[in-house]
Copies of this chain bind each other. A is one copy, B any other.
Amino acid sequence: MELKNDRLLRALARQPVDRTPVWMMRQAGRYLPEYRATRAEAGNFMDLCRNHDLACEVTLQPLERYPLDGAILFSDILTIPDAMGLGLYFETGEGPKFRHPVRTPEAVAALSVPDAERDLDYVMRAVTTIRRELNGRVPLIGFSGSPWTLATYMVEGASSKDFRHVKTMLYDMPDTMHTLLDTLAHAVTDYLNAQIRAGAQVVQIFDTWGGVLSTPAYLEFSLRYMEQIVAGLIREHEGRRVPVILFTKNGGQWLEDLAASGADALGLDWSTELSDARHRVGHRVALQGNLDPNVLFARPEAIRAEVARVLDSYGQGPGHIFNLGHGISQFTDPDRVTAFMEALHELSPAYHQRIPHD
């Protein structure tokens, strides 16, 4: 099937484009009234993830409103541990929780790698459905949490402020931690490859919590397993390269290591300057980011100024995918996103003008 808008894929390959492509992390989400309506229809959050027609519906909603250059699969970051039998549930006003946290060598040893096609078939059905409904409009991005990030939830049993339990395992039982991460790396590889076979044209690994580690711990317990995944992924499908994006939140100090991982692109949060990142690693990877989502609470003129600043920081030429530095807030006014898109579409072409030959 023809891809009508390949701007995202071209930028990920650091090829010339006419304007900077854009998508937003969590672009299908609670800030959109139409999302809240579908969610209410579905029941709870996991019911929405498990219903491939409704998951497709919410995936496409932001594309109806905004000129986005990519769609991202609507799903949860914790589908893998849920498929491992940890009993994912959500309590109102709180983050995800597990009924059966994993804290002992025995509990880790008892885990097995889910069969992605069978145990996570609802995800693959959603991917297939979304691809069909997209009909080549923009590429579909699949995703997974990183092994370390999944492990933080599995060991803590919930969101955490101090990561006490998972770091106790890391420092006190490093062999157990490695066993858990290796199991997860296999699971994530299978899961992303199943998404690619089902139709995902780009994949992103969300390492939301890599930034809470020391440098040596990050390299040993997070990056190493993302590298293992990247090495095991299908990199060509349907005759096209399937680019891989790594996003370690608060990973700005480790860009050189991330750029050597085999990934095609790195996602950046707003704490890292794009100019600095491009200077350090932009000859090896594309860069994605990095507007602070809180900018979208400001007036349109202030949004425009920050969009201009981010574009300017990356500078002229290909290899930049515009995004937020983290998921869009549920409290965002959808009209502010319109202002963001308008500023970007007006300002970004100037950064992609070809220099005429004499």
**For this complex, into which size category does the number of interface residues on chain A fall?**
35 or more
Assembly CA distance A162 to B276 (angstroms): 25
- Please tell me which stretch of A67-75, A111-119, A208-216, A238-246 contacts chain B, meaning at least 4 of its Cβ atoms lie within 8 angstroms of it: A208-216
**Interchain CA distance A302-B172 in the complex, whole Å:** 7
Question: Does the CB pair B294–A171 fall under 8 Å?
Answer: yes
Task: Identify the stretch in A6-14, A16-24, A266-274 within 8 Å (CB) of chain B at 4 or more residues.
Answer: A266-274
Q: Does A163 contact B (CB under 8 A)?
A: yes
A250 to B250, CA, bound (A): 8
Query: Which residues of chain B have C-beta atoms less than 8 A from A63's C-beta?
Result: none
Q: Is A271 a contact partner of B250 (Cβ separation < 8 A)? A: yes
Interface residues of A in 34-92 (CB under 8 A from B): none
Q: Which residues of B contact A215 (CB under 8 A)?
A: 271-273, 276
Residues in B with CB closer than 8 Å to A306 are 171
Report the separation of the CA atoms of residues A302 and B252 in the bound assembly, to the nearest whole angstrom: 27
Check B214 against A292 for contact (C-beta < 8 Å). Answer: yes
Closest B residue by C-beta to A301: B172
This chain's copy number in the assembly: 2
A167 at the interface (CB under 8 A from B): yes
A216 to B273, CA, bound (A): 9
Q: Which of chain B's residues has its CB closest to A310's CB? A: B214
Contacts of A172 in B (CB 8 A): 297-299, 302
Which of A217, A294, A299, A302 is most buried by chain B, counting CB atoms within 10 A of its CB? A294
B171 touches A298 (CB 8 A): yes
Q: Shortest beta-carbon distance, A300 to chain B, in Å?
A: 11
Residues of B near A214 (CB, < 8 A) are 270-271, 273, 290, 292
Q: Which residue in B171, B290, B297 is a CB contact (below 8 Å) of A171? A: B297
Q: In this assembly, does A237 line the interface, its C-beta being within 8 Å of a C-beta of chain B?
A: no
Partner of A294, one of B162, B270, B292, B331: B162
Asked whether any CB of chain B lies closer than 8 Å to the CB of A329, the reply is: yes
Q: Please name all residues of chain B whose beta carbon is closer than 8 Å to the beta carbon of A211 when the two chains form the complex.
A: 250, 271
New contact pairs (12) apart from A167-B295, A250-B271, CB-CB < 8 Å? A162-B294, A163-B294, A167-B297, A170-B294, A171-B295, A171-B306, A172-B298, A172-B302, A213-B271, A214-B271, A218-B271, A252-B253
Chain A residues near B (Cβ < 8 Å)? 162-164, 167-168, 170-172, 211-218, 250, 252-253, 270-273, 276, 290, 292, 294-295, 297-299, 302, 306, 309, 329, 331
Closest 9 pairs (CB-CB, A-B): A167-B294, A171-B298, A168-B297, A172-B298, A214-B270, A215-B273, A171-B302, A252-B253, A171-B295
Pairs A–B under 8 Å by Cβ, sample size 5 = A168-B294, A171-B298, A215-B272, A217-B292, A252-B252
